[in-house]
Structure 1
Amino acid sequence: MQVLLVEDDRPLAQGLQTALRKQGYSVNHVETGDACLHVIVTEPPDIIILDLGLPDMDGLKVLQKIRDKLQTLPVLLLTARDSVDDKVAGLDSGADDYLAKPFEMTELLARLRVLERRLGTVKSNLIQIGEVALDTSNQEVFFREQPQELSRKEYMLLKSLMENAGKVLTRSTLETRLYSWGEEVCSNALEVHIHHLRKKLGSDFIKTVRGVGYKVAPP
């Protein structure tokens, strides 16, 4: 799941990137509204976390411009503006959710999980497909009820496939969800992750669609 963080407070942005990546998110960061609008045209993320107090334009204006281009892209507002009127203005402008600063990281993660469920084919934190179960709240994976040790990239890859069960995800789509800007990606990295997952979860769980990408069967 690729998140675009739009936040001009660098220490806060760095802390959020670290915390989100530990939870299996691929996070890219920009500091201005103009940069955000450029990204959504060239490389749309899955979810945007948008600060309202940006240096070049008001965050609500950015949100309105996002909605002009992408009406269904989930946007979570992060802001120090915590009055009821500010919250209503943000939601009326097209935000999917609103979180006032300061906030607890656990609450932000919970709200992101809600937005993720709207994007995928599953409606709960536990995804069960055949003998494989994935708990997005605790980042645990089980095969035949036995816990499996997965690397962060393996977990992110499996989560993307299971949340989109039945859909073929292309190589480029999966790499975008696994890697942030600037991360070095080996040419066969995706295939290596797939190979490791098949060893842990059974060789038939992840299907290869030749020339297109990968998928798992729907539950």
Structure 2
Amino acid sequence: MRLLLIEDEKELADALTAALSKQGIVIDHTMRLADAHELTRQNIYDVILLDRRLPDGEGLTFIPKLRRAGVATPIIVLTALNEPMERIEGLDGGADDYLGKPFLIAELLARLRAVLRRPANIVQPCIAVGRIVIDPLHLSVTIGATPFDLPRRELLVLVALAKRKDKTILRSTLEAAVYNYEEEIQSNALDAHISRLRKRLADASAGVAVHNIRGVGYLLREE
């Protein structure tokens, strides 16, 4: 899952980024609406988390502009403006959900799962390839009936490859699934993740292999 966080409280943004990253979520963060518009033009997000009080305006003004641009990404408003009429204003303003600060990370995760279950945003319930079964909503993997634990980066690589099994994925597409736009990506970082993932899959007799398509990218294929 790739998520855009529009939040100007740095301490909260850092805490959310750390907590959500542990769930295998790739997070792009910005403090300004102007930057958020540019990011949504450059990237495809599964969910947007939006504060209302931002340095360059009211967060709710972002929603109609995004919809007019044809972007249907679900939006959850996270804000201290949490009186009943403020919640009504936010939901009537186009937010898919509205969560008042402070909140529990567990509740935010539940609300993320809820918006992704809605008909327009249905996430494939599971992906089966070889002996692997992936639940992309909860980011859990089993081989046979046994849980298969992976470091976060390798898990994100596996999910991206499995979603497009038997199809070549560009290296740049894989990097976008694993890293946020602010991270500096070392030239061999993705190769290292894939090398370790290959070994783990082979050791677990997963029934799949990751193939390198020289000069293009990678693909996952059943053996």
Q: Using structure 1 for the length normalisation, give the TM-score.
A: 0.80
Partner of 1:4: 4
Partner of 1:186: 186
Query: What is the RMSD computed on CA atoms of the aligned residues?
Result: 3.0
Judge which range, 99-108 or 165-174, deviates more: 165-174
User: 3-state DSSP class of the match of 2:65?
Assistant: helix
Task: Tell me, in whole angstroms, the C-alpha distance in 1 between the residues paired with 2:166 and 2:58.
Answer: 40
Percentage of pairs with the same residue: 38
- Asked if structure 1 preserves the Cα contact closer than 8 Å seen for 2:4 and 2:45, the reply is yes
Asked if 1:74 is matched to 2:78, the reply is: no
- Asked if structure 2 preserves the Cα contact closer than 8 Å seen for 1:120 and 1:164, the reply is no
Partner of 1:204: 208
Judge which range, 189-198 or 152-161, deviates more: 189-198
- Asked if structure 1 preserves the Cα contact closer than 8 Å seen for 2:7 and 2:51, the reply is yes
- Asked if structure 2 preserves the Cα contact closer than 8 Å seen for 1:49 and 1:76, the reply is yes
Q: In structure 2, list runs of 5 or more residues that go unmatched.
A: none
Judge which range, 190-199 or 51-60, deviates more: 190-199
Task: Tell me, in whole angstroms, the C-alpha distance in 2 between the residues paired with 1:215 and 1:93.
Answer: 42
Q: Deviations over 1:165-210 (max 9, x none)?
A: 6765432122112112342323233233233223222463546566
1:164–1:115 Cα change, 3 Å: farther
Task: Tell me, in whole angstroms, the C-alpha distance in 2 between the residues paired with 1:147 and 1:18.
Answer: 24
Task: Tell me, in whole angstroms, the C-alpha distance in 2 between the residues paired with 1:158 and 1:86.
Answer: 41
Letter in 1 for 2:160: S
Task: Tell me, in whole angstroms, the C-alpha distance in 2 between the residues paired with 1:140 and 1:172.
Answer: 24
Partner of 1:171: 171
- Asked if structure 2 preserves the Cα contact closer than 8 Å seen for 1:148 and 1:200, the reply is no
Q: Using structure 2 for the length normalisation, give the TM-score.
A: 0.79
**TM alignment of 1:31-46, pairs within 5 A:** 31-46=31-46
- Asked if structure 2 preserves the Cα contact closer than 8 Å seen for 1:169 and 1:213, the reply is yes
Aligned residues: 216
Judge which range, 68-77 or 108-117, deviates more: 108-117
Partner of 2:141: 141
Q: Deviations over 1:149-173 (max 9, x none)?
A: 4211001222333455676543212
Task: Tell me, in whole angstroms, the C-alpha distance in 2 between the residues paired with 1:121 and 1:163.
Answer: 11
Please point out which of 121, 124, 146 is paired with 1:122: 124
1:163–1:96 Cα change, 3 Å: farther
Task: Tell me, in whole angstroms, the C-alpha distance in 2 between the residues paired with 1:163 and 1:136.
Answer: 9
Partner of 2:154: 154
1:194–1:122 Cα change, 3 Å: same
